[in-house]
Chain A
Amino acid sequence: MEVNDMITGEERRLAKHCIEYAVANGADGIRVSLNKSVMDSCSMLNGDLDKVSHSADRSVFIYLYVDGRYGTFSTNRLEEKELEEFIGQAIVMVRMLGEDRDRRLPSPERMAKDARGGNELGLYDSYYEDSDSSSRLERAERMSIFDSLEKKAGYKVISEECEYAESADDTFLIDSQGFEGRHTETSFNCFSEITVQDEEGNRYSGYWWEASPHHDVLKLEECSHTALERAVSQIGPRTRRSGRYRMVVDGSVASRLVSPLINALNASAIQQKMSFLEGSMGKKVFSEGLTIMDMARTPGRSGSRMYDSEGVATKDAPIIEGGIVKQYFVSTYMSGKTGLEATVEDISRPCLMPYVKEKKLTDTEKNVSLKDILRHCGNGIYVTGFNGGNCNPVTGDFSFGIEGFAFSKGKITHPVREMLITGNMTELWNNMTAAGNDTRQSSRWQIPTLAFEDVSFSA
């Protein structure tokens, strides 16, 4: 698909002028990111139009290296003279800061050289250009099922909120070593939230959302139906007795358990002694069933990117493989600080691979669904939402509020509420017994339904 030139030739010239001006005025190195974005949204409340909004942004971010010193600056005032003055003041300020020779641009050989067009990964849908306020309203109206909601719910409906939004982003990244990269991406999003009330007057809310770089992927009509199902399914919760249970975590929320691992693999956390995975490189720390890949360059999928915010080329790579830590995320600065080899600065698109304990999955057996996992676990608690809580980055000890359902003999029995899980991330991931292949296309984080044994629940 062709990419509309959101960033004009004149704006690209301006970005390049920032580099020339900074270098001419004493900067050793500079990176400039020129960003433009447009977003339109249309919201419905109880079947009627409630809100329309339109936004158009442009800004320039400047990363300056002067005399072994470093600073970051941004402005949305893009007149050439104002920018020159802005950069002049920025250089003066950077010179006031402390010297830190580890601050530098990445080596040129690490930079992406194949990302100049902007749509190499097919993340731009030109449908966006043909869309207008009436087509957005029509899509938002298609999402609403308010007229038939009470009949479908079987309960009093308090409210239905639907939002349809479209956006387009264009980023032009250049540096004083000659790097040039462009990333364009459209995003189409739908979100529904429904609140119902039971006979005792208790309110229950359920939400659902979908997102994609491509407009034709969204199932607009299903969003409110799913939100309604999720609201109604919570009616009549019971508290389950505290104890140790098998836990199944729905793929839509399972990233909450993966993010502490990814955060702990960041060299910045390791260097600041704020990581429970310090010293874990190359070691088997987790269950052999845990494999997380960074699938950074998958065409057409949210989160894919050709380069990170430094311009360093991404690649598809294992992060944790068979429970063994394979990669830290080491920015150029952190590489200097720690002596670790520089990589991309952060994960782009984590994908957790299918697994069933004590069963070697053949390619034809890798279709592991939620139903399969519930059956495999037999009894336990199926977590569909997290409510508050924290993970201590230094120790990996965690405590999260949860909501979900009890299940028995592989079948969901009743909703549970006011429960917590507590434990340690390393122990939890050593107790993983299954991972499905039911990830949602909408998510940047491709985390499927997960199962763990021997998890401590409090109520």
Chain B
Amino acid sequence: MNGFNYYSDIFKITEERLKILSDTALERGGDYADLYFENTTYFNLLLKDGVVSSGGFHTDFGVGIRVLKGEKTGYAYSESTEMAELLDAAKAAAVIATGINDRRVYGKVIDRKQDIYPVKEDWRSISADKFLPFLKELEKEIFSRDSRIIKVIARMSDSVSDVLMYNSLGEITYETRPMGSVSVTAVFQQGDKTENRTASRSYRTGAELIGKELVKELADEAVKGIDARFEARRPKGGTMNVVMGAGASGILLHEAMGHAFEADFNRKGQSIFSDRIGQRICPEGINIVDDGTLRWNRGSGNYDDEGVPGEKTYMVEDGILCSYLHDRISASWYGVKPTGNGRRENFRYHPIPRMRATYMESGNADPEGIVASVRNGIYVDEFSNGQVKIGEGDFTFFVKSGYLIENGRLTAPIKDINVIGNGPQALADIVAVGNDLKIDNGTWTCGKEQSVPVSCGIPTVLISRLTVGGE
């Protein structure tokens, strides 16, 4: 891990200047100020029609300066680290404190050194031509799996971010955050029908991610279930049992419940879970977690973007709502410690409470037994395009693939339908949780005001009633 000098060289900054900027940001009476320096390089390659015919790299460099007065936020940023421009940004952010009497104390957090994503091969040290054979191999492997494949589109990207954070409490934190992602879409043709499947993997890891193991994993997933996809039909709609398969269907947990646990919505009273801390919101034995400490996970962070160490946060423990997801503002407002959820897309945005890796812990039910217990319902193994109304709790999710369950058995494949429900009601209606938690390591990105990388997971879960839209 790099030391302070590595970052101070990149950003041409000293501790003395950090203090001057922080003092300037507070000159109108702000309670707290922080600075977020970022130097990110992105790299990407695209294989299409058999050729890696497009690629590039991108540099993003700048500093965000935030001032808090009470819970109010002033924010400005500069794309230069010239002191004059930084001072201008500090003064612009300072304006928020003008004429406001609210005051809040923002406390220090305990710095807990951790290295959740040790890197073997630095992405920035490897030339593009090293990755070209990987994409060609991936394409070849996928074509070899199924004669119905007519096209393969493969993308790989990496990013490395050097981040230095400083605040008016004198806390200095810094780290370098890697990210590697590969996604592939295979297009299949059978008679006059066309279907496609996409598989992706994304981790906070170094270039050691790229290799034969990943080729096999992505190829397996890209062709998995394609026969069922061609046969799949829209089922008859209605209210029925819904079994969520382990893994990617955890996105429903992220959208339908996780956002409503974010403390900014609750602080403003807008979430359906506002004022429900300490109350039972789902059956005993259910634990729902937002975790920033999973090794190499896309949602993990040694620190969040406010310099708070990443941690594992229980939102629901044994069915009781026990914590929201906090940034420094909401933590101060609620009088609790920040949970390391203050995240931002980049230096252009101020941090807000965001999820990291959100999942339900395993229960004790046998997954096959869960399916066997359903007389009439659907099994969903892949959701997409979910949306939730935070205040009402109503959600809608599109079912990309799944099966009918008839008399305890998976029967006809289904697709292109939605399930709709209400978050708190769905939690209360959980009747079985499998012992097979699976984290999905796809390229999940959450888009609440800003885009941040996340991941999700869930064991096999049975919800007793959800509305399924069909023919």
Residues of chain A having any CB pair with chain B under 8 Å:
45, 48-58, 69-77, 86, 89-90, 93-94, 96-100, 103, 133, 158-159, 161, 195, 202-205, 234, 242, 272-274, 337, 387-390, 392, 394-395, 397-401, 403, 417-422, 456, 458-459
Contacts and interface: CB of A to CB of B under 8 A. Distances in A.
Interface stretch (B215-223, B308-316, B383-391, B451-459): B383-391
Contact of A422 (B76, B153, B269, B469): B469
Contact of B59 (A75, A97, A99): A75
Contact of B348 (A57, A69, A93, A395): A57
Contact of A53 (B60, B151, B269, B350): B350
Contacts of B469: 399, 401, 420-422, 458
Contacts of B196: 274, 394
Contact of B398 (A94, A389, A459): A389
Contacts of B394: 387, 403, 417-418
B467 A54 contact: no
Complex A-B, nearest 4 residue pairs according to Cβ-Cβ distance, in ascending order: A401-B396, A388-B396, A420-B469, A388-B387
Interface in B143-179: 150-151, 153
B272 A203 contact: yes
A48 to B, nearest CB: 8
B52 A53 contact: no
Given A55-B348, A70-B53, A420 B396 contact: yes
Interface stretch (B67-75, B107-115, B205-213, B439-447): B67-75
9 contacts: A51-B72, A51-B73, A71-B54, A98-B52, A389-B387, A389-B418, A390-B416, A397-B416, A399-B416
Q: Which of B390, B395, B417 has most chain A Cβ within 10 Å? A: B417
Chain A: interface secondary structure? Answer: strand
A273 B237 contact: no
B270 A158 contact: yes
A159 B270 contact: yes
Contacts of B77: 55
Interface of B: 45, 48-49, 51-62, 71-79, 89, 92-93, 95-96, 100, 127-129, 132, 150-151, 153, 187, 189, 194-196, 234, 237-238, 268-270, 272, 348, 350, 384-392, 394-398, 400, 415-418, 420-422, 467-471
A317 to B, nearest CB: 28
Contacts of A397: 234, 416
A268 to B, nearest CB: 10
A333 B390 CA distance: 42
B195 A389 contact: no
A89 to B, nearest CB: 8
B255 to A, nearest CB: 8
B270 A54 contact: no
B56 A72 contact: yes
Nearest to A40: B92
A204 B389 CA distance: 9
